[in-house]
Structure 1
């Protein structure tokens, strides 16, 4: 019995790198003669200075939007402010005799993060799941397009015990490599497509030449046969 199976195989070759964002803290100057006012987008729930020569006062009961900063001569320190909604703000604070600025209106974009990482993590997980679902839909559509395209690059074919495997096309798209493979079963047995093992073979230069194989996992397998369509990830 003859079976034809067309496979559009995506070999994942892209490299993803993630980096933690770095924050450059702004500097606020204060002295012991004037009040420096800091206005925040949400009421202040907590304000802490890192040194005793700096004092940050705010209304703890009513939760006002502004706080007052004063300083005595000494080494620089830092100010950490948490708003009622969990937004965190951090600044370097220094003593200066002559002040050029007495009022700071701080936007929400100056926040370095939120004290509630669970909510942020949940949002990131939801966004990640949505992104993965979109990728799977793209793989499905693009692989189907490659199968319908029926473009061939040449005769790359192997046969064994009545089963022939040929590479019909190789396509590079968005840092990812796609292989279109046709499997023909001319044997008397019915075979189901279970898995494909892929590897990259490299040959070392020099007098003693040797071959090295490196297995590469597939990101997505989309295949069409006489029954219908299936997508395996």
Structure 2
């Protein structure tokens, strides 16, 4: 099903782009000891590189008209830029030890199209067509980067009967928090995941003290396993809307086994939630 959706999206993109005037896709050269600046006619909303040896940085909190490109040695790739008005720009990017051009000014005429083209049908049917789910694409790429990145926020793990649940990192990006976690199975039995939940727990004051839990529903889940075989480790990411908590609250990461009792609850304190990487 996913392959058919990708193929359908590709056909839509191809049809739409062919209808536009032909433009030359520039090749942009970059290296690892100089910043190459790209200036656009409208603020940048999103920038995506096709390979990890190219890094395009831009202000994700406050939209600006320029971004910076750097590269490490490797194969050529591509760079996709989306402005805040939906204009799409696409370039080939290559590593080059010595580069002459450090600043690029991209006119509107070099745009390959718009994120939300119109069908040209009747007014009541003249609605924008989403060619890509760019948000999902961004989540997938950023989560893939995080699971490969070796950065620990601290030693936060809990073990039960050979099952180890660990928080490796909590990263803040835009308006969201990325929880990077691992589930390790050091037992001799496969582990079937029933659920893995994030909850905010609050202690109620008063004579009758009680606990209240608020479920944090992820806006995106990456690489979440259904089963962890013996002697294997699963590394996954939950993306949740940005939040902070007081010292009277804590976050509980709860792992529950399907048809089993190897359940784990890992406490994440407020100082960790409020100071992400």
Using the size of structure 2 for normalisation, the TM-score is 0.36
Larger Rg: 1
The structure with higher relative contact order (CA 8 Å, sep 6+) is 1
